[in-house]
Homo-oligomer: A and B are copies of this chain.
């Protein structure tokens, strides 16, 4: 039992070290030796857990994908309504991208030149979630007249991917302040008049406390 716990901890340390090295050097230049050294484990221990650099990249992506799923699930559970859930989820995603190198590396791994075994499609996963929640908003009559869920999805997905990309160079792009500028601009066009005043561009307190 203790042994299993230790193995799980070593695996997690390796995934985090791999994410740090991928984020710094890119997948192609990242070496297994820098990863095991950064994790403070032997090459043998690394190979016990992961057969290859590909397997490590996949583990980073799987962990990032689980975070994106959790953000979607949390935002689904008890948010006031779909538009606020969408706002809350964008804040949660940018916070995790900013703070968690595994999430950041997971997204970046998908944007480089294609890997032989294919990459997990984190952006596609995020896009599907955004489309779904905006369709819910449309169905519930929360979108302004003349605004379609499809048009809104295009803009929200492109802007959030842009924040993620620009944020890799300059974290200010992933800040709550930048997101509030975005939502302040978009919401008066996006939301039906009767829900607009109730929306919080900075995210709800409930979402913030769940994230803390």
Contact in complex: A182, B155 (CB < 8 Å): yes
Give which listed residue, B25, B163, B182, B190, contacts A113 with CB less than 8 A: B25
Residues of chain B contacted by A161 (CB below 8 angstroms) = 161-162, 165-166
A161–B25 alpha-carbon span in the complex (Å): 22
Q: Most chain-B Cβ atoms within 10 A of its Cβ — which of A26, A161, A162, A184?
A: A162
Interface residues on chain A, size class: 35 or more
Contact in complex: B184, A186 (CB < 8 Å): no
Give which listed residue, B150, B155, B168, contacts A186 with CB less than 8 A: B155
Contact in complex: B154, A182 (CB < 8 Å): yes
A81–B3 alpha-carbon span in the complex (Å): 69
Contact in complex: A165, B25 (CB < 8 Å): no
CB of A13 to closest CB in B, whole Å: 23
Contact in complex: B151, A157 (CB < 8 Å): no
Q: Which 7 A-B residue pairings sit nearest by Cβ, starting from the closest? A: A158-B162, A26-B113, A189-B189, A162-B162, A161-B162, A28-B28, A158-B159
**Other than the known A111-B165, A159-B162, A185-B189, what 9 A-B pairs have Cβ atoms closer than 8 Å?**
A24-B113, A26-B26, A151-B182, A152-B185, A155-B182, A155-B186, A157-B166, A160-B162, A186-B186
List A residues at the B interface (Cβ < 8 Å).
24-26, 28-29, 111-113, 123, 147, 150-152, 154-155, 157-163, 165-166, 168, 173, 178, 181-182, 184-186, 188-190
